[in-house]
Structure 1
Amino acid sequence: MNTIMIRRLKYLLLPLFFLIGCEPQTLISFDELRNGLQSNNSTLDTIVGQSTELTLPFSEAYLKHRHYLYESADITNFNSEQREDLAYLKIQERYPERFLPWPVQVNVVNNLKPNMSAMSKWSELVLQRLTAARESKILLSRYERNILIEYIEQAEFDNKELKEFLAKYKPRTRLGLYQHPNGKEWYQSKLNYYYDISKSPNETLNKIQTELARRGKRVSLALSIMGENHFALSYLQSHCESVEGLNWIDAYTNLPATAKQCAATHNSDITRLFLSLMEIDIGLHYQGWSKQQARVTLQARLRLTDFEADRLVEGTVLYPATIFSLTPFVTFSS
């Protein structure tokens, strides 16, 4: 047998070797996927509770298992909303989130506090990832850094190296996603999912501002969840029957599907609030607005105290584009 034939035979047999050596991946249902993700997110989740085997968020083990779960999903048995939910999460794997291992929405140190060994490993992971991220120009904002420092102080976590690192850490200058590498694309991916319309942020902003101008003078609002950080989630939980989702950051609620199926009605003042939050969302995450600019804009649209305005701005920073899941409740003039 000549050399060329042997080489061809190797290439033909190589895929067979891989098939023989690998177990076929078992496909899982939506409920099994959701349960698996909740287990993997145990340290991010106070609702699910702590499991005996902790997986540190955004560690290699966490990322590998999360990806395995995504790829194991039997999407042929998912409805359209479930498929869109999973597709969005898969897209998010492309972006810098994995380089920022400590989501500021969760006090991970407090969740790990009973397990000193896990806390030690966690601090090492945070230092490694934030150092590597900084070299790739992926940076925390000043607001995010201050939250992490506050978490450490609240938990009385005595890790001198991590404290000193965060104290000397130079954050990015603005709050929005746009300052990350591919940050505008990252924000657009979120907007596509929550808004369910693939329009440019600037085109959407112009539409929102035109509608706000048409609605006239600012109004006063009395809303019990005004101070909640994740405004869209809190509003939907208060007014609608939740549709189960896969994303831990939305408390495993499919926000767009929940809003679409919600029968609640909303007066024009509440609609004005939604539009105002959408305006600052694009301003912060796409156009590079400062916190002060976002607050002034909100207070020009609505009669809010500084505390109320700041809380709404902070929530917008922490949960980009989620406010657009409330779009079904907004009617634009033609």
Structure 2
Amino acid sequence: MNPKITYLLTTLMLLVGCDAHTPASLSFNDVRNELKANNRVLDGHTKTDDIITLPFSEAYLARRHHLYGSVAVDVLTQAQQQELEFLQIQERYPERFLPWPVQVNMLENLGTNNEKLAAWSHLVQTRLQKAIDSKIYLSRYERDRLLQYITTTTPQVGSIVSLETYLDTYKPRTALGLYQLPNGKEWYQSKLNYYYGLTKAPSKTLNAIQQALASQGKKSSIDIDDSNGRHFTLHYLQAHCELINGLNWIDSYINLPETARHCAFSIKPDTKHLILALMEIDLGIHYQGWSHKQASVTLQARIKLVDEQTAALIESVLLYPGSVFSLANIAGFNSL
């Protein structure tokens, strides 16, 4: 059967299934489990013969939206309500036009099933082309990372060769941060509001951070993990705090701000310095339009790091915008 027809039929079955079997009101844990099921391709939890929902397909988006609206809000804690509201706000922004989350090697997760690969290739190309009509583009970093996935992990079937050709000729946006996307500054502000818990103007926060860094004098030396793509905030909280469950796929279903608020771990001064420096480059990249080089120079002026460590930390800022601000509370910077 034609992969496009198969994909459309699968989408229809999934949408019908959503309405037929999902209760009108679900508990937090029920919704968390259902979101995990919807995200199982992103999480790499599929089998070869599974009928799957492709991430950011119409079926995926409809199911996710339905689940967000099915939570029994009256039994949620305040932190759970805040996270749910944040996730609902995220639906307004350009994410849906960028179907391949750069944090994930989707081709590895899909395996060698040519039909699934063909459906995925078609979805990515179609969505990215529609995004261009709305002036939404991948960054050069995102485009190059997707091409790296293709060249290192995928059998060269026709649909993937077509996707590689498309990305080879794709013209990305010039800057790295969210600010260059339509409504990008508002999108970034919504992330700061959630992770930081404050609604101050980013420019004022950046100024306060830079004053705090200047008052601390010489740059610190710190031993950090330089693993590629490391979610710095999540990794830190996993290592030192009791994790609190959340709904957000990008944060591995952990509520980062609430985990940090209840964490009793005492942060060392050098680590506090690093967190401040990461908050600075997060704002610099996503709100002020800093280049990778500008972020690298600034970070290395604050912290004694080798190039590989610097690149890994900047990658975390690129992949998980605003999340480092969850550590502001535990580090005592929540009043900046």
**Structures share a fold, TM > 0.5?**
yes
The size of the alignment, in residue pairs, is: 311
Where do residues 89-238 of structure 1 align in structure 2 (5 Å cutoff)?
89-158=87-156, 159-224=160-225, 229-238=230-239
Give the 3-state SS of the residue equivalent to 1:263 in structure 2.
coil
Shift of 1:53: 2.7
Task: Report the AA paired with residue 64 of structure 2.
Answer: R
Which of the numbers 61, 71, 84 marks the counterpart of 2:82?
A: 84
Give the 3-state SS of the residue equivalent to 1:72 in structure 2.
coil
Paired with 2:235 and 2:228, the residues of 1 have a C-alpha distance of: 10
Shift of 1:226: 7.0
CA contact (8 A) 1:225 1:235 kept: no
* Closer, same or farther: CA 36–23 of 1 in aligned 2, 3 Å: closer
Paired with 1:110 and 1:184, the residues of 2 have a C-alpha distance of: 33
**Partner residue in 1 for 2:249:** 248
Shift of 1:205: 0.5
Paired with 2:161 and 2:231, the residues of 1 have a C-alpha distance of: 32
Shift of 1:331: 2.9
Paired with 2:229 and 2:119, the residues of 1 have a C-alpha distance of: 32
CA contact (8 A) 1:85 1:246 kept: yes
Shift of 1:165: 0.6
CA contact (8 A) 1:228 1:234 kept: no
Shift of 1:119: 1.2
Paired with 1:169 and 1:225, the residues of 2 have a C-alpha distance of: 30
Shift of 1:228: 5.5
Tell me which structure has the larger Cα radius of gyration: 1
Paired with 1:268 and 1:23, the residues of 2 have a C-alpha distance of: 52
**Partner residue in 1 for 2:39:** 41
Tell me, yes or no, if structure 1 residue 259 matches structure 2 residue 257. Answer: no
Paired with 2:76 and 2:258, the residues of 1 have a C-alpha distance of: 14
CA contact (8 A) 1:99 1:133 kept: yes
Shift of 1:61: 0.2
Greater Cα offset, 115-124 or 313-322: 115-124
Shift of 1:24: 10
1:209-244 residue CA offsets vs partner (Å, 9 max, x unmatched): 110011111011013467662100000000001000
**Partner residue in 2 for 1:323:** 324
Paired with 2:53 and 2:228, the residues of 1 have a C-alpha distance of: 31
Task: Report the AA paired with residue 99 of structure 2.
Answer: P
CA contact (8 A) 2:141 2:176 kept: yes
Paired with 1:155 and 1:311, the residues of 2 have a C-alpha distance of: 21
CA contact (8 A) 1:240 1:259 kept: yes
Identify unmatched segments of 5+ residues in structure 2.
1-19
**Partner residue in 2 for 1:50:** 46
Task: Report the AA paired with residue 301 of structure 1.
Answer: R
